[in-house]
C-alpha cells in the first residue's frame, strides 16, 4: 500500500472529516490514477484511506477515515446499500430520485440517479473510475435493476484527466423515459440534456411552487431558463391561466410543450419562447 504524507498543519481539514486534499498540502508520496493510498500526517499518524488523482488539483479524495476499513468490493457494496437505505426512509413523491450523492455518501465523485427502472451514473473522479465495474455491479445488486447508463461527461472528468464516456454500462434499450413526479408525468432522455437528464433536486420546489400559485391566485407566470418546463407544468397545475417558458434551447422547449400536452393542460395556456432570457427581460420589463 502506497503512503502519502501531508504537510504539517494541513491535516486539520481531514481531522474535521473534509474528504479532499489539495496538491499543495502533500509533503511526499504519489500513486496511480484512482489507486487507494494510506494518508498520514507529517508525524506518521493515520488520517484516511483515499483515492489518488495525479492530474487533479484535488490530489486525494477520502474513502474512509477508519484505519480498520478495507477499500474493496465489499466496501462499495456496503456504502451503496447504506445510501439506498437512507433514501428508502424518505417519502419521495416520484419514481425518480438521487441514490448516491458523491462525498455526502462517502463516495467522492460518484453521482447516481434512478429514473424508474433505469439508473444513470456519473463517475467524476479517478477513484470512482477505477472502481467503476465494482460500483456498477453493486448498484444493480442493491436495486434489483438491470439497466445502468453512464453519463460521465461533466467537466470534472477533464480536471481528473479522464475522457468523456457515455453509454450503457449494464443492460440496454431506449434512453427516452417517462417519470412520475407528484401528480404529473415528465419525460427525459438520459443520453442527453443537463446533469443526468433532469433536475431532480428541484422536485420539492416544483411542488411548492404549484401550491404557491394556487394559494395566491397567480394567473400569469414567466418561466425563465425553463429547460424542459418542469416549473411550467407546476404553474399550470397550480391554476395559472398563462405560462410562458423562455429558453435558448429549441429541443428543451419542444419537450416543455410536450409536457403540457402529456399532463392534459390546454395548449392555449402555454407559450414557448426560443429566446435569450436577458434580452427578453430587457424587452418585456
| CATH number of the domain within which 250 lies | 3.40.50.150
Tell me the pLDDT tens digit for each residue of 164-182.
Answer: 999 999 999 999 999 999 9
For the cut 90, the answer to whether the pLDDT of residue 1 exceeds it is no
From CA 128, how far away is CA 69, in angstroms rounded? Answer: 17
Provide the number of structural domains found in the chain: 3
141: cell is: 445488486
Check residue 92 and give left, alpha or beta (phi > 0: left; psi -120 to 50: alpha). beta
173 shares a domain with 112: yes
Summarised one tens digit per residue, pLDDT across range 105-162 is: 999 999 999 999 999 999 999 999 999 999 999 999 999 999 999 999 999 999 999 9
Q: What is the pTM of this model?
A: 0.94
Among candidates 268, 96, 101, which has minimal Cα distance to 184?
Answer: 96
The reply to whether 158 and 236 lie within a common domain is no
208, 231: one domain: yes
Do 213 and 278 lie in a common domain? Answer: yes
Distances (CA, A) of 214 to 2, 183, 205, 271: 60, 15, 14, 20
Domain with 7, as residue range(s), is 3-64
Amino acid at each position: 500500500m502506497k503512503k502519502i504524507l501531508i504537510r504539517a498543519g494541513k491535516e486539520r481539514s481531514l481531522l474535521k472529516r473534509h474528504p479532499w486534499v489539495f496538491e499543495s498540502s502533500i509533503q511526499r508520496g504519489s500513486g496511480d490514477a484512482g489507486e487507494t493510498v494510506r494518508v498520514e500526517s507529517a508525524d506518521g499518524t493515520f488520517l484516511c484511506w483515499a483515492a489518488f488523482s495525479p492530474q487533479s488539483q484535488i490530489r486525494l479524495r477520502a474513502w474512509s477515515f477508519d484505519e480498520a476499513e478495507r477499500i474493496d468490493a465489499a466496501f462499495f457494496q456496503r456504502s451503496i446499500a447504506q445510501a439506498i437505505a437512507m433514501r428508502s426512509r424518505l417519502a419521495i413523491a416520484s419514481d425518480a430520485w438521487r441514490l448516491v450523492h458523491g462525498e455526502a455518501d462517502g463516495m467522492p465523485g460518484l453521482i447516481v440517479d434512478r429514473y424508474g427502472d433505469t439508473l444513470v451514473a456519473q463517475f467524476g473522479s479517478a477513484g470512482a473510475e477505477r472502481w467503476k465495474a465494482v460500483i456498477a455491479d453493486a448498484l444493480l445488486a442493491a436495486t434489483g435493476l438491470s439497466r445502468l447508463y453512464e453519463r460521465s461527461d461533466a467537466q470534472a472528468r477533464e480536471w481528473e484527466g479522464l475522457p468523456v464516456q457515455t453509454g450503457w454500462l449494464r443492460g440496454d434499450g431506449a434512453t427516452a423515459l417517462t417519470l412520475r413526479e407528484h401528480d404529473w408525468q415528465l419525460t427525459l432522455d438520459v443520453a442527453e440534456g443537463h446533469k443526468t437528464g433532469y433536475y431532480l433536486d428541484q422536485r420539492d420546489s416544483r411542488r411548492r411552487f404549484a401550491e404557491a400559485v394556487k394559494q395566491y391566485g397567480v394567473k400569469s407566470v414567466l418561466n425563465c431558463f425553463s429547460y424542459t418546463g418542469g416549473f411550467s407544468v407546476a404553474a399550470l397545475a397550480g391554476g395559472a391561466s398563462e405560462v410562458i417558458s423562455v429558453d435558448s434551447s429549441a429541443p428543451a422547449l419542444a419537450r416543455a410543450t410536450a409536457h403540457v400536452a402529456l399532463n392534459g393542460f390546454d395548449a392555449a395556456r402555454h407559450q414557448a419562447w426560443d429566446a435569450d432570457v436577458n434580452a427578453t427581460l430587457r424587452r418585456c420589463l
